[in-house]
Chain A
Amino acid sequence: MSERVNPFALIAGDKHADRVVPPSGFTARLTIFTAAAMAFLAVFALALSLATGRIAAEWDAALAQSSTVRIAAPEGQVEAQVSAVMGVLVTTPGVAEATVLTDAEQQALLEPWFGPDLPLDTLPLPRLVTITETPQGYDSAGLRARLAGEAPGAVLDDHTRWREPLVKAADRLRLFGLVSLALIAATTAAIITLAASAALAANAQVIGVLRLVGARDSYIARAFVRRYTLRALAGAAAGSLVGMVAIFLIPSKEMTGGFLTVPGFAGFEWLLPLVIPPLAAIAAFLATRRAAFSTLRERP
């Protein structure tokens, strides 16, 4: 039995074959609506996944190239230990720049938490030295050992314990986005399979007549598959377009003051949702084709 449904013949169509299947019905509307809704959700899942990926990259880049030395020493030894730390840092390979934060800079760091009237001079705050690494980075274990020897009150924080869970969380979110896309594709295929099966069952008499007059299974399948593929394509195109407009209208990260991470596309990423309608059509093609041949095999 020939079970091929030529994709090129499918695109080109056959005006006579197209007419043998009754043109309307509940399953037609169901297919278009499902494809549109799923494409809309797919655009959001894609935007969320891409935005999360960007955040992960930003966090990684921001934290990976910087570290901090915190110096907490008894009064009278602070400046000596700061000088010792700076002496160690300028001779450490992999350290591009080391800067002692001024009181004003420390005040600015603490201001969001304690307000602008913080009396720094009355608090036993540690001194902070920010380190900018070279691309090659430094040997953190070796630096810790040297700092322990030269400045006992100095503690090196290379941000590893912050960076890893943040990046891991962002990576997980990105993975969830991709899993969501896969689930949306599978759900779309499942619903279109159900719709196509319902349509085939509802058109049992049509199929019986076509078989009676000598239609091959591939001919009958093509008539159904083409119709459902085109419906899925049209629905997914509409859903993707609405999804892209909705994403476009979401306020940007800058507009939300950087507090809200919003799903969105950047640059060429705006082209990616355009892949969703063809993918939906391919899913519909495969699902309907399978349903059609499965149904036809059960008939004489």
Chain B
Amino acid sequence: MIELDKVSYGYGGAPILGDVSLQLTPGSFHFLTGPSGAGKTTLLKLCYGALTAQQGRVSIFDQDVRDMSRDEVALTRRRVGVVHQDQQFLDHLSLADNVALPLTVSGRPVDDGEVRDLLAWVGLSNQKASRPPELSGGERQRAALARAIIMSPEVVLADEPTGNVDWEMSIRLLQLMVELNRMGKTIMIATHDLNLIRSAKAQVQARVLRISGHQVQLAGADL
């Protein structure tokens, strides 16, 4: 589904990732952990084509990212839902319009009922007319998740989705991710919250990957 083969990436000559190999198989659940600045966001961006590997090969749905045109990258992103670290929204649109944005840009008809159901699923039924700046951090995270899955993507990549929310909300978001995984979606969550990972392991069979020394390693029983 998404495969990284001996991928290296760095900024300004300083390596962040070196010789990283990784495979996200359909229906799998991965956590990606490591200290701040270790390269979690970089790795996720490589996985949805926002960055191109400086060395090695990244393939998304069996297509090499380097061979993709910009249009093909755009079309690929419709199959990969991304929950961004800083929950980017269009502040002049309502929450419902923001959640429906992937449908809008792909030219698909916007089904108000579908948007309403999705907002209810993430517990934001009462905020559908609100503008993003009016929402709390947790509400924005859940809205970002709703937007990421409205196209029914095969893969959901979440970058620190619980970074700005309290523990109760973190667990709620985690449960939503677990539900998605049970629906067959491939999930990868980048987080440095080990308690969240421990909570998840009780609910889902998740692999935990740790970035350390520019490498990605499978974390052991220490978690």
Contacts and interface: CB of A to CB of B under 8 A. Distances in A.
Interface in B31-53: 45, 49-51
Contacts of A275: none
A22 B106 CA distance: 19
Given A1-B71, A16-B110, A23-B92, A214 B105 contact: yes
Interface in A1-36: 1-2, 16-17, 19-20, 22-23
Contacts of A205: 88
B223 to A, nearest CB: 30
A17 B101 CA distance: 10
B105 A219 contact: yes
Contact of B70 (A1, A19, A20, A213): A1
Contacts of B160: none
Interface in B84-115: 84, 88-90, 92-93, 97, 101-102, 104-106, 110
A214 B89 contact: no
A216 B75 CA distance: 8
A214 B74 contact: yes
B70 A217 contact: yes
B78 interface: yes
B104 A20 contact: yes
A21 B45 CA distance: 25
B77 interface: yes
B147 A213 contact: yes
Contact of B74 (A22, A217, A297): A217
A5 to B, nearest CB: 14
B174 interface: no
Interface string A173-215: 0000000000000000000000000000000011011111111
Interface string B51-90: 1000000000000000001110011111000101000111
12 contacts: A16-B104, A17-B104, A19-B93, A212-B50, A212-B88, A213-B78, A213-B101, A213-B147, A216-B71, A216-B74, A216-B75, A297-B70
Interface of B: 45, 49-51, 69-71, 74-78, 82, 84, 88-90, 92-93, 97, 101-102, 104-106, 110, 147, 151
